[in-house]
Structure 1
Amino acid sequence: MRKGIGALCAALASSCVAAQTSGVTLYGTIDLGLRHGSGLTASHAAAPGSSHSLGSGIHTTSRWGLRGSEDLGDGAKALFQFESGLNADTGTSANASKYFDRASWVGLQGGWGTLALGRQTTTLADAVSPVDPLGMRFASFNPSIGVAALSQHGLGIEFGSAGSTSGSYRLDNALKYTGRSGGFTARAMWGLGEVASQQSALSSRGVGLAWAADGFVASGAYQNLKDTNQRTLDGTTLGAAYQWGTVRLAANAARSEAETAAGKHTVQRVLSAGATWSVIPLFDLTAAYYKVDRTRTGATDDGYGRLVAFAEYKLSRRTKLYAELDNTRWRNGFQGAANKANATGVSAGVVHSF
């Protein structure tokens, strides 16, 4: 038995050495919190009543992944990443049709930049990330992610090779180049639609540019996406953030326009602003306001305003407790006639990263 155990330990040690040599990292985040919503369902949609739930991803989206690199010499590297979203409250995958729904790509990196091929975020998503007033918290309820970066565009049409009719935050079959020089970061993306006999159907093209120096970040992008009928969805975003001592200020503006049918268009705009204050090194307060406007051909203009606030206490470098409060005021019946015109939510939970 001692010989068997010794052989097993040797095999495990060999595997670990191999993983370290190739630079493979297992990582993830688990976020669970209790939530009460008035005028909201457990999935944060407008509702006529109230809900109580144990939610996953209220602060940070629960996920796990693998990433790694191999040194090819002369400053060149091979890179890869797989990442899968989780419903930590039920132990299921966040996306039933795509296991590695958040990332699945391989690439090369050198002094000339990085070229990645596979499923990855759009230039809009990359541009919003450093300037979102909430710091990308509460992704399923955050208009910067859902509306500005098109994660929940609500159009009911697949634009770009997203594999979904509800959002276009990430694209399949995509090539993305990222180059950096000084404080500038430039991105260019091409998504292949791969629709038989329709060369440009579900295709996408995007560009982005960011500049960072001395605590200041400015970031913007443009993305064009097509559906199977060659109709287009165009999105733009531009924002800035500034770290001033213990306070981070951020603001962003975004606009998208989609042709949803012949002669019919939907335009959505998002204006947002907010701040994070590190009261003490272990305790942060964050508040952000989002104004969303929607214009549709043949329909009344509508939208909503949303205020979201977080209080966070760091138990360690990887674990924190949080409390969250939000209020949404719908305009002109955006929420649906049967639902409340004013919605509130309160949450408390824990998030751990590894």
Structure 2
Amino acid sequence: MKKSLIALAVLGASGVAMAQSSVTLYGVADAGVGKIEAGAPAGNDATDKTQFISGSLMNNGMSRIGVRGVEDLGGGLKAGFNFESGLDLDQGDNLGVGGGFWGRAANLWLGGNWGTFKMGRTLNPTYYGLATWGLTGTALYSVIGNTYNWGGGGLRNNSQLSYRTPDMGGFSAEIGYILKADNADRAKVDLNVIYANGPIGVAVSANKVKGISTNWSVGGKYSFSNFALAASYTNANNLANARRRGFGIGGTATFGAASLTLDLTRDTKNEWTGKKYTNGVVEAKYALSKRTFVYGAFLRLDDTNNYGIGVRHNF
């Protein structure tokens, strides 16, 4: 259970009451056993041998611990922050995910009924667009994410300045910008437009670094009865301005606490490897509670076979 520390501070010298603020400690513990040929997002589990896995390609999520806070400034205005660090349950090491100890998140924000303005290292708008319709959510073994590098923009941006609109009947949008001095002399813009309401989730995402062609993706998901169907198309470019693009299609069936997902991608152009691939993931999950589930997944990724079984607990 998330544990919150709620404090009401009083400025003793003047007797003036300060605004109420809260700080929440949260996290994820995820570990299992698997075999990885294609490499890992973090850690050192890509050895092509069956072994303990944590923070790897075949874990559902990265183990992490984080702290977030919010202060009510009055008049509908709030201020907040989020710091988050990755953990490797192999030895208890930190996994900075390319950004040091707080590599998963280190940001400050101001928000109100006009939207939210955020500054710092954070998940980027393209990522949130893909998460709207991804059948395996934000799993590390996402076939869409791994085939097309999460819409060509990766997962996170450093030094991002972003604005997100409030939710307007299911519609929202976010735009992020990185000054060229903060991105190797190449300014970057990253954005999404999302409709998520009831059984429908649709998103258009795009990001562009100066001197590199625009990355973009469009996808949608529709849930009905015990099933969900999704389809997408992605155009991604790497730093050498080589293109990889293709479509994704898949479905999920849910049976009480259990679910089964099949998600596929097919390249229509691939200048990254020079060969078009059909990739796919099969995922099975069983919820033990609202916060804990067991999972198993098999990922076929560019001629590599990868699998994992594990347990994830959110707190």
Are 1:124 and 1:149, in contact at CA under 8 Å, matched by a contact in 2? no
Q: Distance in 2 between matches of 1:173 and 1:42?
A: 27
Q: Distance in 2 between matches of 1:268 and 1:147?
A: 9
1:25 paired residue number: 24
CA-CA distance at 1:107 after TM superposition: 0.8
Give, as a single letter, the amino acid of the residue that structure 1 aligns with 2:61. Answer: T
Give the TM-score normalised by the residue count of structure 1.
Answer: 0.75
State which of 272, 275, 286 in structure 2 corresponds to 1:302.
275
1:271 paired residue number: 247
- After superposition, the Cα gap between the structure-2 partners of 1:315 and 1:295, relative to the gap in structure 1 and judged at 3 Å, is closer
Q: Distance in 2 between matches of 1:44 and 1:97?
A: 13
CA-CA distance at 1:249 after TM superposition: 1.6
- After superposition, the Cα gap between the structure-2 partners of 1:87 and 1:123, relative to the gap in structure 1 and judged at 3 Å, is same
| 1:346 matched to 2:307 | yes
* Alignment RMSD (CA, Å): 2.8
Are 1:207 and 1:223, in contact at CA under 8 Å, matched by a contact in 2? yes
1:336 paired residue number: none
- Percent identical among aligned pairs is 27
Q: How does 1:110-121 map to 2 (within 5 A)?
A: 110-121=112-123
Are 1:293 and 1:303, in contact at CA under 8 Å, matched by a contact in 2? yes
1:84 paired residue number: 85
Q: Distance in 1 between matches of 2:50 and 2:187?
A: 41
Name the SS for the 1:129 alignment partner. helix
| 1:236 matched to 2:216 | yes
CA displacement 1:86-142 (0-9 Å, x = unmatched): 2222211222751111111111111110000111122211211111132222x2x43
Are 2:68 and 2:80, in contact at CA under 8 Å, matched by a contact in 1? yes
2:142 paired residue number: 142
1:284 paired residue number: 259
1:213 paired residue number: 197
Give the TM-score normalised by the residue count of structure 2.
Answer: 0.83
Are 1:178 and 1:185, in contact at CA under 8 Å, matched by a contact in 2? yes
Are 2:130 and 2:150, in contact at CA under 8 Å, matched by a contact in 1? no
Give, as a single letter, the amino acid of the residue that structure 2 aligns with 1:113. Answer: G
CA-CA distance at 1:16 after TM superposition: 4.2
State which of 127, 131, 136 in structure 1 corresponds to 2:133.
131
CA-CA distance at 1:147 after TM superposition: 4.5
CA-CA distance at 1:252 after TM superposition: 1.7
Give, as a single letter, the amino acid of the residue that structure 1 aligns with 2:292. Answer: T
Runs ≥4 residues deviating over 6 A: none
- Larger CA Rg, structure 1 vs 2: 1
Are 1:148 and 1:237, in contact at CA under 8 Å, matched by a contact in 2? no
The alignment covers a number of residue pairs equal to 293
Are 1:107 and 1:114, in contact at CA under 8 Å, matched by a contact in 2? yes
Give, as a single letter, the amino acid of the residue that structure 2 aligns with 1:313. Answer: Y
Larger helix fraction of residues: 1
Q: Distance in 1 between matches of 2:238 and 2:190?
A: 16
1:43 paired residue number: 40
- After superposition, the Cα gap between the structure-2 partners of 1:315 and 1:259, relative to the gap in structure 1 and judged at 3 Å, is closer
Q: Distance in 1 between matches of 2:60 and 2:307?
A: 12
Q: Distance in 2 between matches of 1:84 and 1:218?
A: 30
Q: Distance in 2 between matches of 1:108 and 1:255?
A: 33
Which runs of 5 or more residues in structure 1 are unaligned? 1-14, 154-166, 331-341
| 1:323 matched to 2:293 | no
